[in-house]
Chains A and B, each alone.
Chain A
């Protein structure tokens, strides 16, 4: 048996939480893309420490993780789904655009929606050709603008974070800034108002 297979087996056979964490960390350390599928499975094991280690490993493997993460997205376990979206958001590959738009707008779980909303702000648009990038940026912005009126304050907060990042794109900046001016007057939650304030402060320094 190869060393990698042994490491994968150690993850699959771990019976104690601490044992699982150690096995995942060892598997992550070899930085081998054959580990991706196993690392994705760990996201659904209900062990937060192990899941965070697996997320770190998936992010390090970068572009190779993207397709498997999208294909193995756990429909039934929203905790696992939130970890997947967080990994994808950190990798920032624009292939996830459609998935993030769907997740931010309609996922059942607030944690998934928040991660997707934040992630929509920081995709690496330069990986797309300009004809694709511009409509994609527009879609991302429209999605985030639409959820700034969500009932859940944490979704609105995440939308602000996403929009602030998107406003680095010169073609979008004016619309986002004027939206912030409007939203801060109607926003009922003091925490969200603070976040808009901060976003405005940062954007005025650009």
Chain B
């Protein structure tokens, strides 16, 4: 949900953005990669230029990170072009944590089941990988993004790999595990634990649990979502997620009307 938009906003067009990706000015390249994703420029030329940027070696930080690759990986998820999948799978092996995280999220968005074997490798170190790396603001691996991707991609064989993440201290990762395990097993107890999380004391975590429930379409949560103490905009999005799992919209079920009644009450 968070876009890293640069401060200097230059007016771009499709052509100038693609051209910018090949320019010397690194900040302009970085901006162009973000811009192509933000405005959903789905042309072949845009996708190809972003795939090239995924292998960029010019834009590196003092710590050896790859800012341009991060933005390119994020943009490629938004463009919905499956030809980016092999390059994004390679990006899962990048030394930069945030490139791996963005690649996992984008592969999830692209429905890339081919990424499952490589995603699994990122969980090879188990819950150790949720611990923060000394001197850096992030964990060893982007466990939250990887687990969510495995759940969305229907990687049922990864259930035993994901289960240990229910019992480690990083709450966001616990929620990701609950969300994925519900998707992979349809076991009600995982959904119920996310419902309980709506009563938690931290508003940020309540928002995450709410978003997870919407994403998995857990219908028994409808009333608890409507009651939860977070901003109504978040609740409306989560309830709309429940509604989306009840398609088709032309044949309205009682459940759909129940969810819409709750949405109406939040206006």
Binding site for B on A (CB under 8 A): 48-49, 82, 110-111, 114-115, 117-118, 153-154, 157-158, 161, 190-191, 193-195, 197-198, 201
Contact = CB atoms under 8 A, between A and B. Distances in A.
A111 B240 contact: no
B243 A191 contact: yes
| Residue in A111, A193, A194 with the greatest tally of chain B CB atoms within 10 Å | A194
A121 to B, nearest CB: 10
Given A111-B231, A111-B233, A198 B267 contact: no
Interface residues of B, number: 18
A49 B228 CA distance: 11
A144 to B, nearest CB: 12
Contact of A157 (B249, B252, B256, B263): B263
26 contacts: A48-B229, A49-B229, A82-B232, A110-B233, A114-B267, A117-B267, A118-B267, A157-B236, A158-B267, A190-B243, A190-B247, A190-B249, A191-B240, A191-B263, A193-B249, A194-B252, A194-B260, A195-B260, A195-B263, A197-B249, A197-B250, A197-B252, A198-B252, A198-B256, A198-B257, A201-B252
Contacts, number: 46
Contacts of B267: 114-115, 117-118, 157-158, 161
Contact of A118 (B236, B256, B264): B264
A161 B249 contact: no
B94 interface: no
Contacts of A195: 260, 263
A191 B242 CA distance: 10
Interface string B234-255: 0010001001100101101000
| Residue in A48, A114, A191 with the greatest tally of chain B CB atoms within 10 Å | A191
A117 B267 CA distance: 9
A73 B105 CA distance: 42
Nearest to A109: B233
A191 B244 contact: yes
A118 to B, nearest CB: 4
By secondary structure, the B interface counts as helix
A165 to B, nearest CB: 10
Interface of B: 229, 231-233, 236, 240, 243-244, 247, 249-250, 252, 256-257, 260, 263-264, 267
A194 B256 contact: yes
Contacts of A82: 232
B233 A154 contact: yes
Given A190-B244, A194-B256, A161 B264 contact: yes
Contacts of A191: 240, 243-244, 263
| Residue in B229, B232, B244, B247 with the greatest tally of chain A CB atoms within 10 Å | B232
A117 B264 CA distance: 11
B196 to A, nearest CB: 19
Contacts of B247: 190
A190 B239 CA distance: 12
Nearest to B256: A194
B229 A194 contact: no
Contacts of B249: 190, 193-194, 197
Nearest to A192: B240
A155 to B, nearest CB: 10
B236 to A, nearest CB: 5
Given A118-B264, A191-B243, A198-B257, 6 more contacts: A48-B229, A114-B232, A153-B240, A157-B236, A193-B249, A194-B256
